Structure 1
Amino acid sequence: MLKAFFLIAWMVVSGFAYHVTPRQASTGVNSSTSATSSSATSTPTATYSYLNCYTEGTNTRALGSASLVNYTSMTVEICASFCLPTYKIFGLEYGGECWCGDTFGTGAVVAPTTDCNMPCGGNHNEVCGAGNRLSVYSTTPVIVAPVHAPAVNNYTWTGCFTEGNGTRALTSGTDIDYTGMTVQICAAFCYPNPAFGVEYGGECYCGNLNELNASGAQKAPTTDCNMLCPGNTSEYCGSGNRLDLYQLPLNSSMGR
């Protein structure tokens, strides 16, 4: 009990905000305070390696089991010492946030490496994610199943659609990149068009729902859109004559 008191006192004096979910707290004071204590010396308790830059989850944290926040002193080593070995994965966000977990929350996917570009508050030579982006590390290899990205920028995934009958479903703009295409790149290229679709791994098409409906395009089984984006293999980018379709909200001035 006395040890826990001094650990909490150290956290307060150092300016760290500490949070543990009921799951970790239920394992007893020793498991949660040992992670806190190790951050005092910045000595990791397990080996780890960098995975990638990840997005936050959709309506949930990408890593939400425990957190430590300090925007002036955070480093990769402090976060590692806080999260390990209780958790297998840790991520640093917005320069001073440390998040821990064993699995990723829904919607958390690999983002372009350059999205993680904020220096750590305690070591400007290290990168600590960015806004809604985490620099993620793990003690074990993590296999992330590909997903149809549920949302990107202001767009929402609508489903897998066929191409038009003898014509393109979306005809307002085209970008082709079979080596680096991602859903995010296509969204940025097409905005503010009300809709866009990624097709055949590296094709990006922009347009609107009037074009889509007039072309005769139809909703297809989700499994038809099964080609990975070459620039982000954790996401799908349509398939042959199939588009992963995204659109702006219908109540937006452009989303129709």
Structure 2
Amino acid sequence: MKQLALFVVTTFALGTTAFNTPQIPLNWTTQFACAVDVPSRVLANVVTNQYTDNTPATCIQRCDAATFAFAGVEFSDECHCGTGLVGTPASAPVSDCNMACTGDPTLSCGGSLRIQIYKSPALPPGAWTLQGCFLDTATSPAFGSPVVHQTFNTNLDLVNQCSNYCAHIGYPFSGVENASDCQCSFGLDPSAQIRSLSECSSTCPLPAGAGNEFCGGFERLEVYKFSAN
């Protein structure tokens, strides 16, 4: 009984004082510090789960891994993942998000029909167009800094794998090199040197026996640029 009483007192005390500012990982941003949720939910195509380690950060990480663009914490242990917003949620006073997270009682995780909403940096729907084949060496990089490098378990359909990954982390330029390396950037290096497309001659397999595609080459980056629909 003494342990239960201590828990109740601690929860009440946190509810009447300011919570700590949560860490927001993966370049996500806060969309609503506290918003009104409704029984039909304000996140589109929402998937809701309850976790004993729920925090804004763990919820964001789970939603991001499942390729959702929105995350929300509510009622202490609820993590909501969605593809967008249903209209514009009504803002609520931050004091309404007064329930401690199950994963960290120094942080708030919404309240009763009160949700803290976070958004991924993912690009909106759009298309990728080939920009050309570029020299890519340590002294003559194709992409300007910062550059994110990513490898996958397989190079099957590498061009699409890479473009989807770059879109998910919010980078509008993608590139594949030597049939293995995926790169994401915000643009070409000012001194980028274009080469003949024939120099991007490494190949990667396509799904379902559809043949192969070109995937850059040795020190040659096959570059694609995103444009929104």
TM-score (norm. length: structure 2): 0.41
TM-score normalised by L of structure 1:
0.37
